[in-house]
Structure 1
């Protein structure tokens, strides 16, 4: 079972936030759920949790490329939290709303929606648009200790990042070879661009934007739907690699 909780936040006055605003989301969740805190501190990769950055009516609230991240006093802000642990569910149901002091402001938090997903389903289409809402960090095979991230979602590396998370958390395992990935997932258009972000005082360089894929394989469509829940790439648990995958019509020229 997969759960997706949506939180609404409101600050009592204007406040400058950390550059990557999932830090606010994580702090709120730490207040709500000791189980989440324990799981988030576990070094195990591909954890079955995903916290998003904050959003307002215009989209993501994020400090990238030199911009600051702000919460306006009295404004409505949102984040979502995907998880599978029933103990986290119990924690959240014990505190539907809360008031937390952080970064010099009082922030009211309310759980406004909770979805229960018993099966990963997809809306059938031949073409899907993947919107990368936050900086996405996809790694090629590592030959050295230094982290290096791709600046484009090449089919194999993009799919492999989803498959590894799926296989760590789902009963039905998936295997997609390097060659088959290029058959199953064909790029037909894109607006991908590099982006710089900052987390814990460290700069990271990834990409965001959008890409349209032609997809004719059922299991790949399931993987794209799964990515809507848990994201793609490295550090998805803290809000990197958040995607919105939607079916689209597309005519090849």
Structure 2
């Protein structure tokens, strides 16, 4: 889609959310769902190479001490960008007939035109290896959090941390049992020590930490539980804030 080129000082998932509401006001219900709408996911804006566009500071050394960035985060929005959205068909059909929208976000006017919509089907492929790349910041939820306790993010992408929200959507009644099964079925490659890292993203005037990079897992067994979890993550992302543009991944089985 064509966008008015601007300097934007917030997470670009907010532009995507505003556009969807402009296209169809029913999306207000999706984004207003308390606790997050489980079967809905957007990406932040993506450039023509498929790279996420958002204000960030990447920590280049995983084991280095780093401090929270100072100052305001800004990113240049190019004149051509796109985003991806996953959800129930009844929510998405209106996008196929919509062409343009004018937005005002934080006092900044943004015009979006020439919207082209394509439908995509995901296939996992065959093999005993899984490659996962985080296209935007991933905020992993603590699956072992107890109600009333302090909720913390997790930064080591063990299978139970990485797929906890997907398992909760798919297998709520046997949540912990399935998490343990994923821990047994998926083994991280040693390259994860080098391929994963921390990124600071700018959201609502604050610099916040998240996970970025990529990871390879080796499969002990591809059973139905593992397959359904991986497919769900491919469509709906991982971790918290998936309806706000967080946790988007590219997943390939090889």
TM over 0.5, shorter chain: yes
Instruction: Output the TM-score relative to the length of structure 1.
Output: 0.80
Structure holding more strand per residue: 1
Instruction: Pick the aligned partner of 1:38 from 17, 29, 33.
Output: 29
Structure 2 residues not aligned, in runs of 5+: 58-68
Q: How many residues align?
A: 230
Displacement of 1:245: 0.4
Cα–Cα, structure 1 residues 177 and 163, in superposed 2: closer, same or farther, change >3 Å?
closer
Moved more, 177-186 or 99-108: 99-108
- Report what 1:52 is aligned to: 43
1:149 aligns with 2:153: yes
Q: Which residue of 2 aligns with 1:182?
A: 183
- Is contact 1:56-1:76 (8 Å) kept? yes
Deviates more, 1:234-243 or 1:107-116: 107-116
Q: Are 1:23 and 2:14 counterparts?
A: yes
- The ranges of structure 1 where at least 4 consecutive aligned residues each deviate by more than 3 angstroms after the TM superposition are 103-106, 143-147, 173-179
Q: Is the 1:121–1:222 contact (alpha carbons within 8 Å) kept by the matching residues of 2? A: no
TM alignment of 1:59-138, pairs within 5 A? 59-65=51-57, 68-72=74-78, 75-86=79-90, 88-93=91-96, 95-103=97-105, 104-115=108-119, 121-138=123-140
Q: TM-score, normalised by structure 2?
A: 0.79
How much is the aligned-residue C-alpha RMSD, in angstroms? Answer: 2.6
- In structure 2, the CA distance between the partners of 1:102 and 1:247, relative to structure 1 (3 Å rule), is same
Unaligned runs of 5+ in 1: 1-7, 249-253
Which residue matches 1:5? none
Change (3 A) 1:177 1:214: same
Q: Which has the higher contact order (CA 8 A, sep 6+)?
A: 2
